[in-house]
Structure 1
Amino acid sequence: MVAIAFLIPLGLVVQQLAEDRAVADAERIAAAVVAVLVVRPDQAAVNTAVTTISGDAEGRVAVHNSPSVQMGTGRARTAEIDQADDGSEMLTVDVDGGKALLAPARLSDGTVAVVEVFVPEDELNKGVALAWFTLFALAVGLVAASVWVGDRLAHKVVGAAKSFAQAARSLNDGQLGVRVQPGGPLELMEAGQAFNSMAERVLALIKAERELVADLSHRLRTPLTALRLDAEPITGPAGERVRRSINNLEVEVDQLIRSARQPPANTGEITKVGADGLPVGARCDASEIVRERMVFWSAVAGDQGRTCKRVGATLPAPVPVSRADLAAALDAILGNVFRYTPQGTPIEVAVTRRDGWVAVRVDDGGPGIPDPEAAMQRGVSNKGSTGLGLDIARRLAAGVNGAVNIGRSRFGGASVVVLLPDVEAPPRPTSRFGLVGRLSREPGRRRGRHQGVPR
């Protein structure tokens, strides 16, 4: 646009220069004819002067008001000729086909003759078309060059921005090894360098945290060893149960140490998703996990005089989580029940599979929880615990697009429902929260008014 705005006035200047050049040439011819008329007002002398000045001037020169010289056919009007006759300077007027230059010539006998020189339109515009074409071609070239340069600059900026955004998405997906190649404008280069520094800092923090977890987990070996020695003298089913629990705890601690000592994922690997939209990898049978864990918890419930009932869990219920994770989540929920409800409180654990979802429900007859929202927050507890029990179940469900719902059980206590996708029947496109009531209860059993009682 700047180039066009500059070239248009330039073209008008070129046109004006061509017109001025043609008028100046006419003034030169008129001056020569006037000089001859003043000195020698003779027809032959004027003809000779016109022929000498310019070969194409014969048909363009006319002489008015001279009795001795008759030349050419005038194009100017009578009033314009009379106006030039009364003046002392040349006069330029518009006529058909161009312009006419009128120059007065005072003869020796006192009369005033008027010399008319016709300037045709093509003389006025001579070279203008070529100049406009050249300027137009120059404008097109400038515009094309500016578009190309702008496109290259924009491509560089956009490419750097896209690379930066892709790296941010990759880091968000867990690719801790992703880095940005700084490029583009100075601001984007600085942002890329800051991103790389941030990624390095995140990797260092995760590494330090994992090392701390490994160290803390390793410290648990000493009290576990002492606990095992103390449990050796215990005989009977109780002693066997205690030793089995210690073995399970040692396995979990070993797994925690191994996981913590693995380097952070910096190879760019992310969780793969199958055609059903569920993570590819870990799979387990929720019914099998419930049956397995209920063997342990039923024994503990018997010691405390609790009724511990299992509903369902007879048919396979495949879910896209690992055995250890689901078992840990179920143990966390049941552990809360045993820890925060009085002895003798009934417990019921059920597994339901329907509409593409698997629900694992834990009901109790305890007093419930006074602050539901705080109980679902990580690290928050009003019972003196770590506040991580329900968060373990929540994060497990959230990792596979599931949910944890807390309501009122038929015993009057809390009802915790962990909703997980069914591996073999992907969930239908509907709200998973609306399915909780249907999945967490047996068909036909009416449920009391829902209360959000997070635990």
Structure 2
Amino acid sequence: MCTLVALAFLVPLTSSLGDRAREEAIADAARRSALVTGALAVSTAPEVVERAVAASGDDPATRPVVHGLDVDASAGRAAAADLERARAEGRSLVVDVDGGVVRLDPVLLGDRTAVVEVFVPGSELDGGSGDRWLLLLGVTVALVGAAVLMVDRVAARAVDAARGLVRAAGALGGGDLNVRVEPTGPRELAEAGYAFNRMVERLVDARADERELVADLSHRLRTPLTALRLDAEALESDDTSIGTFSEAELDRRRGIRRIRQAIVTLEGEVDQLIKTTRKAVTQETAPATCDVSEVVRERMVFWSALAGDQNRPHRVIGAQLRIPAPVPRAELAAALDAVIGNVFRYTPQGTAFEVAVSRRDGYVAIRVDDAGPGIADPDRALRRGASDRGSTGLGLDIAKRVALQANGSVSIDRARLGGASVVMLLADPEATPRQVSRFGLVGRMARDVRDQKASGRRWPRQRDTG
């Protein structure tokens, strides 16, 4: 663009300078012709004319030549027709000839008309156009270079400022609330930088207020929990291992045990919630990690006792080895409790379930299967606040948010046991980056089909709820 602008100005300028040089050369020829025509007005003697011609210039090639007098006119370049036209019209003419142009000035001398011819070489008409073009080309290059340098500096500031905003936005999206930008660059980008910093500050304040509110509300639960714990301690013993009891007495004692275990668990969750929410937002560290197998084993201690009271067959698969996951321990436990709690809440007593943990292809999978009626609308079940069972609809959303925090997902399918299969996928923090297969999606599909045939496992079809 800078080059086009420079050429748009310099090309017409060069052309006008060339025209000016031509006009000056022809004007100089008119001046030399005037010296001779003035001498002719005084005298037509050959010696007078020759002195005037000699005085008009040092270059013999450009000295005037007089036609129509008794002087030597053999050096003339004009054609006879051009000389006759100048005499007939009685005015000055500029005629092109080989090597340049000639100016013809007619002079009336009594009964005859003389013509003064002045030759102007082509080199004088150009006026050193080659040097002039080189000079203007140099000026053009200098102007374009200066413009490019200036634009580059301005653009570099704008690009650096934009890149800083992009990096800060990416860091904020990754959960870093300490990120700030240095407002630089053009005015608009600087204002965007200030606006970004204000937005982060307000986000930090809003999150801190939210956590304080959660902590306060959690603390308010301590009073009713204390009353429940005291009432549970006042109940009779829940021991069923010593003595002989009727079926009704066994159910009553098991109910007392479940109440006490639930109160202890709830108190622990409230304490953990208060401790977590009291942390300053600006002092939060990177996402914590935990051992998935350990969390599963720990939570299944609680759910196994409840499953035994309800005669639910259950088993845990793959929770023997350490399997890390990039989520806090408490949040993963809450997600697991939400999924297993749905099994106890929405399936009849005696319904079997299993919890499996696996690690493959850069992900950690936590699968909870049951032998219940299944989930008719998996998409609706994963939407926050949506439930067709009269609940809050937040259980699976808790699991989904934990999975998304670990760059994973939650899916619902038909289980091998016949009911619902809820799978939480969490990114494996210790997995090596996978290279992209040159076969792309086709290669992955072929590999999955091959693995499925080798294992002999096929997912059952979705049951017809109608």
TM-score interval, normalised by the smaller of the two chains: 0.7 to 0.9
Partner in structure 1 of residue 314 of structure 2: 309
* Cα deviation code 1:168-189 (max 9, x no counterpart): 2222111223233333333333
For the pair 1:106 / 2:108, whether they are aligned, the reply is yes
Residues 73 and 384 (structure 1), Cα distance of their counterparts in 2 relative to 1, 3 Å cut: same
For the residue of structure 1 that corresponds to 2:350, the secondary structure is coil
Q: Compared with structure 1, are the counterparts of its residues 314 and 127 closer, same or farther at alpha carbon in structure 2 (3 Å cutoff)?
A: closer
Q: Show the counterpart of 2:31.
A: 28
Find the counterpart in structure 2 of residue 136 from structure 1.
137
Superposed, which structure 2 residues align to 1:250-269 within 5 Å?
250-265=267-282
Structure 1 position 311, deviation (Å):
4.4
The root-mean-square deviation of aligned C-alpha atoms, in Å, is 3.4
Equivalent position of 2:460 in the other structure: 448
- The residue number in structure 2 matching 1:166 is 167
State whether residues 104 and 117 of structure 2, in contact with CA within 8 Å, keep that contact through their aligned partners in structure 1: yes
1:125 CA drift (Å)? 2.6
CA distance in 2, matches of 1:328, 1:418: 13
Partner AA of 2:409 in structure 1: A
- Give the secondary-structure state (helix, strand or coil) at the position aligned to 2:145: helix
% same residue: 50
**What is the rounded CA distance, in whole Å, between the counterparts of 1:254 and 1:311 in structure 2?**
28
The alpha-carbon deviation at position 439 of structure 1 amounts to 11
Q: Amino acid of the residue matched to residue 263 of structure 1?
A: A
In the TM superposition, residue 449 of structure 1 has moved relative to its aligned partner by 0.9
Displacement of 1:215: 0.6
Residues matched between the structures, number:
438
Structure 1 residues not aligned, in runs of 5+: 272-280
Cα distance in 1 between the residues matched to 2:373 and 2:446 = 25
Aligned to 2:290: 283
Q: Secondary structure at the match of 2:165?
A: helix
Residues in 2 aligned to 1:33 and 1:222: alpha-carbon distance in whole angstroms: 126
Provide the C-alpha distance between the structure 2 equivalents of 1:242 and 1:30, rounded to a whole number of angstroms. 128
Question: Which residue of 1 is the match for residue 84 of structure 2?
Answer: 82
Cα distance in 2 for residues equivalent to 1:147 and 1:424: 48
* Distance of 2:433 and 2:11 partners within structure 1: 67
Greater Cα offset, 193-202 or 355-364: 355-364
Higher relative contact order by CA 8 Å / sep ≥ 6: 1 or 2? 1
**Correspondence list, 1:199-348, <5 A:** 199-234=200-235, 235-237=237-239, 238=254, 242-265=259-282, 270=286, 281-286=288-293, 288-304=294-310, 306-313=311-318, 315-316=320-321, 318-320=323-325, 321-348=327-354
Please say if residues 307 and 314 of structure 2, whose CA atoms lie closer than 8 Å, have aligned partners that are also in contact: no
> Aligned AA for 1:308?
P
Residues in 2 aligned to 1:188 and 1:341: alpha-carbon distance in whole angstroms: 57
Change over 3 Å in CA distance of 1:221–1:16 after alignment to 2: same
CA contact (8 A) 1:214 1:257 kept: yes
Deviation digits for residues 294-335 of structure 1 (CA, Å, limit 9, x no counterpart) = 33222212323x222214346315131444333322221121
Residue 324 of structure 2 aligns with an amino acid whose one-letter code is: V
Unaligned residue ranges in structure 2 (runs of 5+): 240-253
Give the TM-score normalised by the residue count of structure 1.
0.84
The change in CA–CA distance for 1:443 and 1:147 in structure 2 (over 3 A counts) is: closer
Could you report, residue by residue, the CA deviation over 1:410-446 in whole angstroms, capped at 9, with x for unpaired residues?
4433222334455666697799999999999x96565
3-state SS of 2:289 partner: coil
Q: Are the aligned partners of 1:167 and 1:180 in contact in 2 as well (CA < 8 Å)?
A: yes
Which residue of the partner structure matches residue 197 of structure 1? Answer: 198
Change (3 A) 1:226 1:7: same
- Find the residue that maps to 2:268 and give its secondary structure: helix
Match of 1:3 in 2: 6
Task: Indicate the structure with greater helix content.
Answer: 2
- Residues 61/410 of structure 1: CA separation in 2 closer, same or farther (3 Å cut): closer
Q: Conserved in 1, the CA contact under 8 Å of 2:53 and 2:65?
A: no
Letter in 1 for 2:183: P
